[in-house]
Amino acid sequence: MPADASKRYTRLTGGPRGALLMQTPDADYLTAFLRVARHLAAIGVPAPAVIAVEAAENLALVEDLGTASMAEALDAGADPQPLYLDAARSMARLHASPPPEGLPAWDAAAMSRTAAATFLDWWWPAVLGAPPSDAVRAELDAAIRAMLAPFAAGGIVHRDFFPANLIPTSQGMALIDFQDAAVGHSVYDLVSLVEDARRDVAPALRQAVIDEYLTLRPELGAADLRAAMAVHAAQRHLRVAALWVRLDRRDGKPHYLAHGPRCWALLDRALAHEAAAPLARFLDAHVPRALRRNPA
């Protein structure tokens, strides 16, 4: 099967069940994958079952759930609402359980570092013509930390919860590519799903998914959820809008820039919420609205 940036799959046929041989890049990757896979199995969230492991070779034999992801179903014209609501249910089940031990933190410090690594290191010099100063770096770090500080949380987050990483099954929406799961605020996954960087989500569908998620997790509260979504959306969209620039300039993948306008528009919407004010003030001070776009 086509390889991605970190692992390779070989589809195996002729055995007692469909299986994929997964070749991971190193022991840490395999350990992270297995940790989360076992956790998902324990809490009843659909995911590929681990059939066997050969740790010395960084190999795992995992259940083959097929090739039809939620993204492919949407592209083929499937009704999006049942798919998105199934995804919301799997997400709520994931978030309702305590995370396994050993996951990294996806906290304000980590989110600030990752935003700087794309926005300041790649987008900034591409658009503004020179690297940012140390003072600018410190200001962005302070803004993101201040914005996220009221929303610290200790739950598990998938971190890339979007249709290409979801597979419809008879048991519900299955999760794949979960090896980067971390401990953070659950709404990060909700933002990833309903404010997708790669595809538009209709406003009515977005609200239906949020309502379904709140029905399953009413302890979050609608107002608190909206505020938490705004600040995590602001960080994510800033980081990903600039990530497309890195993929273009460093990796020779300019087609990703097509998603830039969507990300900048989603960022603008997130910044309108008062909870995102620290980041909004930083951008107003340093990046005129006319420049909030892909490099020319």
How far is it, in rounded angstroms, from Cα 85 to Cα 69?
Answer: 15
Mean pLDDT over the full length of the chain? 95
Range 70-291 classified under CATH 3.90.1200.10: yes
Sequence ranges of the chain with CATH classification 3.90.1200.10: 70-291
Confidence of residue 4 (pLDDT cuts 50, 70, 90): low
Average the pLDDT over 43-56 and give the result.
Answer: 96
Chain-centre distance for alpha carbon 130: 29
Strands (E), the chain: 8-12, 19-23, 50-54, 59-63, 155-157, 166-169, 172-175, 182-184
Residue with tokens 């990046």: 287
Predicted local confidence at residue 2, as pLDDT:
63
pLDDT in tens, 117-167: 999 999 999 999 999 999 999 999 999 999 999 998 889 999 999 999 999
pLDDT in tens, 60-108: 999 999 878 999 999 999 999 999 999 999 999 999 999 999 999 999 9
Average the pLDDT over 264-293 and give the result.
Answer: 98
Sequence ranges of the chain with CATH classification 3.30.200.20: 8-63
Q: What share of the chain is helix, strand, coil (3-state, %, to 5)?
A: 60, 10, 30
Contact assessment for residue 22 and residue 53, using Cβ atoms and an 8 Å cutoff: no
Q: What is the DSSP string of 187-213?
A: HHHHHHHHT-SSS---HHHHHHHHHHH
How far is it, in rounded angstroms, from Cα 174 to Cα 70?
Answer: 10
CATH fold group of domain 8-63? Phosphorylase Kinase; domain 1 (3.30.200)
Chain-centre distance for alpha carbon 224: 20
Both tokens assigned to 139: 């200001």
